[in-house]
Chains A and B, each alone.
Chain A
Amino acid sequence: MPDPVARSEPYILFELAGTSYGIPSRVVQQMEMVEHITPVPNAPPFVEGVVFLRGQVIPAINLRERFGFPKAPYNLRTRLIVVRAAGRTVGFIVDSAREFVPISTETIQPPPEGIAGLSGHYLAGIATLGQRLVLILDVEAVIGQGEAIPTPI
């Protein structure tokens, strides 16, 4: 963060299975329409495949699959959010993404203990935007755990 005293940070909001999520925009490199994704055999199931991004081959993670939601077919609103974290570049496939909002750091609460499901592991916090709840993703956790999952052979 360029300015440590900033009280708010821009976030990219996206939708997944009817819920709003946010990722700090500083880790977002770009957003793309989902075009052809080449499946990679024997990769973890939540990895949809690979795409080219500026000459680099990057994995595309299906966040629905990652969070244990049923998969949904791609449509015109489906987006690939390219994030860069921990020295890696990874794409997230989400239902839709269009909002870019500043979220003040005070409104972000730590995730409640009782939150169930897989996505609980991947949350950095929960923010309140007016009436709306926005789940803030822990990007490193989302892309990190895949390494621990052994390749099914």
Chain B
Amino acid sequence: MDNAIGGAEEPFLAEFLDDYFAECEEHLVTIRRGLLALESFVDKPRVDQSLLEELFRAFHSLKGMSGMVGVRSAEQLAHQVESYMRLLRTGKTALSAAALDTLVEATKLLEQIIAARRHNKPEPAIAEGMARLTALADAGPPAPAVPALTDFGPPVPAVSAPPVTPLPAPTPASAPIALTPEERSQLSAALARGEQAWWVEFTPAPALAQRGVNVNEIRSRLQRLGELIRATPNITLQGGISFIFLFTSAAPEATFAAWANDGVRYSAYHEAEPVGTAAHGMPMPAIEPAVVSSEKPASEPTVASPTAAEPAAAPPTAVKPARSAETIAQPAIVVRVDLARLDSLMQMVGELVISRARLEDALRRMAATTTLTPQWHALQEINLAMERQIRDLREGVMRLRLVPIGEAFERMQFAVRDVARENGKSVTLTLSGQTTEIDKYVVERMLDPLLHLVRNAVSHGIEAPAERTAAGKPAQGRIALRAATAGDAVIIEVEDDGRGMDSARIGQQARAAGLISGDAELDMAGLLDVICAPGFSTRAEADLTSGRGIGMAVVRSTVLELGGSLSLWTEPGRGSRFTIELPLTLAIVDALIVSAGGQTFAMPQPSVREVIEVKPSEVTVLERNELVAHRGSVLPVVRLARLFGLPEEDAQSFNLLIVGSGLNAVGIAVGRVHGLREIVVRAIADPLVRVPGIAGATELGDGQVVLILDAAGLARLHRERIR
């Protein structure tokens, strides 16, 4: 991969790349859905136009965006797909099953390339995929759908002197790129519609980004106004980064002239040297600020047109192409947000929580030392209002993290179709409960396990059509993927009406592999244990499907890790059902990160009513009890370090986490409170380390285990100790 834009302006690029990945993901969703729908048109003379249009647009956008960030392989692939789609669109070729497969393969390859980019891994080779796509496009009519190479004359600039001097390409990074035949045909078609072609350069800057003006924003502005033919990143002479767009539009120049303050410069496009294409660089860097070049190009088309006997002569504003209208008509009601930004938002809310706790603390101190004034009451009132507001804010932000599970389900459609084809099965997948909301993090973690279950259902569960018919079942197998909310849990089911599991045979294999002993027949739980044992496979040889899966062991451990459970129902001849129960929010909880006795612990915030700072002198010792006065009552002090046998520190003051209520309230004494963090709760399952007072474990990003405190357990442990 060329490193055209690496390094230069990392922050911009990184931010842009995040957007790129997010947007690619969206287009891939559209593409997957579209390809599935396309299947019903295999071998039909004509494919639904709107469907093709949608797919075409998605691939086109993917291509454009990939080009912009320099992911050339994705750009090339998408381009090739686009070429084939064009043939389909014009009805010059019919869609064969093999062609659809090739498209599916290409889409997978695109996914892999983008994923590889995202995780900084080596990209897969695209040569084979490209070759198959090229063969597809070539298999169409011999006359290419893009006969434009010749009929695109240089109608405009040949006459009028270019307003902008074309300069040589600024750096090797944006090396001379001649227009491809497709781009040329797109361009000439647009010109024929009476549109004007423009070079537009956008130079991102932090100040612009703050106003929400980034390359994506500019790009969508352009797309609303006309057709984007090319988008390329560019290293400016100063070593910065800019993005250069070639686009056609019927919009009057004044529209984008007004963007000068948004880091946009532009100039009219014209073919500098119509013949010497080799030297045809991008005539960009010398573009003047938008305002300067405003008068000349506007008159250009009219000046130019008399020479060329072309319809392009029509004044740009006269012809209002339908396209700009239709693209504008889609208002954006969904905002894409990177999960990391939500996390930092959550963290800020956490800091707010702590600040308010300090405010309350100060107010209390004030109340203890001075007589209460009206001002104090006014402050206290504000403080209490803030508490409520912050709680609402926190909940609102938490809710932002919830996403409908539907999108994840739709990916399964794709997988089912794929695996069914590979295995010669006929399967329908029915989805229900797609609107069920679940934490984004949980959905992302569950994708692979769900994929595995669904693939397994197709390859192991559903029988071959002949076998099904013989058993008196419909030839087409059914897999149901359901989601529903039940109280604080989300339940996901993967059910098939296939052959079910042969518990006797599986038991036999498990015994042979030394996984179980004894002759007892396996019950459902035992069966699940066996199939989830690492390395266990019911197939004699790993087939293609199971070979690339993640394995049932990982399915189960992921579910457990997210604080959920997995169960199984199966009946020979009738099918199998996996039920996954995931906590709606429990797996992720806000926790105060505290230290005691030199060790770090996490205390779930919901169990903490209050955090107060206490000086050793404020502690009253009563026999084996330590007490502090708090809000008119006495609070037993539970010293975490002492309870846990850790070295106790001598400090000026310590913090009390007040947990429980009424007579059960205790203050858990810790050294410092480091802050509020969102943590993923993981269970501690092994009996050797299941100890009272510890609810689970988490990690804070460094791979080290941090134990999660169990407030009630600590209070109990404390009572036992002092008794």
Q: Residues of A at under 8 Å CB distance from B?
A: 1-2, 4, 26, 29, 35-36, 38-44, 47, 49-52, 54-59, 61, 84, 87-90, 143, 146-147, 151, 153
Contacts and interface: CB of A to CB of B under 8 A. Distances in A.
Contact of A41 (B514, B686, B693): B693
A116 to B, nearest CB: 25
Interface in B640-694: 643-646, 682-689, 691-694
A88 B707 contact: no
Most chain B Cβ neighbours within 10 Å, of A35, A43, A55: A55
A147 B688 contact: yes
A42 B705 contact: no
Contacts of A38: 599, 697, 704-707
B688 A43 contact: yes
Interface string B543-574: 00000000000000110110000000000000
B720 interface: yes
B701 to A, nearest CB: 12
Contact of A58 (B514, B645, B686, B721): B686
A59 B686 contact: yes
B529 A87 contact: yes
Interface in B691-722: 691-694, 696-697, 699, 703-707, 717, 720-721
Contacts of B646: 41
Nearest to A88: B686
Interface of B: 512-514, 529, 534, 557-558, 560-561, 599, 643-646, 682-689, 691-694, 696-697, 699, 703-707, 717, 720-721
A47 B684 CA distance: 14
Nearest to A44: B688
B691 A43 contact: yes
Most chain B Cβ neighbours within 10 Å, of A40, A43, A44, A153: A40
A135 B699 CA distance: 37
Contacts of A58: 686
Given A55-B682, A59-B686, A41 B697 contact: no
B557 A41 contact: no
A57 B687 contact: no
Nearest to A149: B688
Contacts of B706: 38
A136 B661 CA distance: 54
25 contacts: A2-B512, A4-B512, A38-B704, A38-B706, A41-B646, A41-B693, A42-B691, A44-B688, A47-B689, A49-B689, A50-B707, A52-B703, A52-B704, A55-B561, A55-B682, A56-B557, A57-B696, A57-B697, A59-B686, A59-B689, A87-B529, A88-B686, A143-B688, A146-B687, A146-B688
Contact of B705 (A4, A41, A52, A143): A52
Contact of A50 (B514, B703, B705, B721): B705
Q: Which 4 A-B pairs have the closest CB atoms?
A: A41-B644, A38-B705, A59-B688, A59-B689
Contacts of A42: 644-645, 691-693
B691 A151 contact: yes
Contact of B688 (A41, A52, A55, A61): A61
A41 B691 contact: yes
Nearest to B684: A57
Given A39-B599, A55-B558, A153-B720, A147 B643 contact: no
A129 B556 CA distance: 40
A109 to B, nearest CB: 22
Given A51-B705, A57-B682, A41 B689 contact: no
A39 B688 CA distance: 12
A42 B717 CA distance: 11
A55 B705 contact: no
Contacts of B703: 35-36, 52
